A and B are shown apart, each in its own frame.
Chain A
Amino acid sequence: ETGVTQTPRHLVMGMTNKKSLKCEQHLGHNAMYWYKQSAKKPLELMFVYNFKEQTENNSVPSRFSPECPNSSHLFLHLHTLQPEDSALYLCASSRTSGGPLQETQYFGPGTRLLVL
């Protein structure tokens, strides 16, 4: 257990559905991240939030909409996804982000998403 939980663990959705992924961290961290892990590709950073403010959007399509209501919770709202969006979506947290000192990231177990 890393202190980062994600729900649901598995999700199947059609291209016209709207769903949300949830991440919660119990580590007292202030930075949270969404990553996409596709088969045979390196992890892709999608979004970074630091103290509830979005500090990075890595050219992610608008059909992915993040929300960070507080430092412990992070959501990824999904709508009109494409089959190529099927992947493992990983959430991570760290004490802070964007400063000169490295802050180690701790990952959740991921949500396995299948878009039909």
Chain B
Amino acid sequence: GEDVEQSLFLSVREGDSSVINCTYTDSSSTYLYWYKQEPGAGLQLLTYIFSNMDMKQDQRLTVLLNKKDKHLSLRIADTQTGDSAIYFCAESMWNQGGKLIFGQGTELSVKP
């Protein structure tokens, strides 16, 4: 079955690292995505990782993929107040035409 799980809330202090976790159930995932949603806005694509990779780094963002455990994480280094938002993990499956399955989103709160 298809299921993507995320914890609902995370609170960190400005300057600390944030780690947002996601687990998924479908082993036929091809790409896994992280989207960011600020209040009143749509979803902004942050980064994605192909399922045959285990790490991807993009400036302050590091994505780690443990395919064996079906676990995806997003690490934000030097978290800023502007990073406060809801972060969605999503997976797509090659056998479903790239249909995206989203988690419920993790609300990141960054305190000064």
Contacts and interface: CB of A to CB of B under 8 A. Distances in A.
* A interface residue count range (under 10 / 10 to 19 / 20 to 34 / 35 or more): 20 to 34
A6 B41 CA distance: 11
A102 interface: yes
A65 B48 CA distance: 32
Contacts of B104: 40-42
Contacts of B41: 109-110
Contacts of B88: 43
Interface of A: 2, 4, 6, 40-43, 45, 48, 55-56, 90, 92, 94, 97-110, 112
Contacts of B98: 94, 97-99, 101-103
Given A98-B98, A102-B30, A102-B31, A42 B103 contact: yes
Contacts, number: 59
B interface secondary structure, majority: strand
A56 B99 CA distance: 10
Contacts of A90: 42-43
B23 to A, nearest CB: 14
* B interface residue count range (under 10 / 10 to 19 / 20 to 34 / 35 or more): 20 to 34
B100 A2 contact: no
Contacts of B103: 42
A100 B92 CA distance: 11
A98 B40 CA distance: 30
A95 B98 CA distance: 12
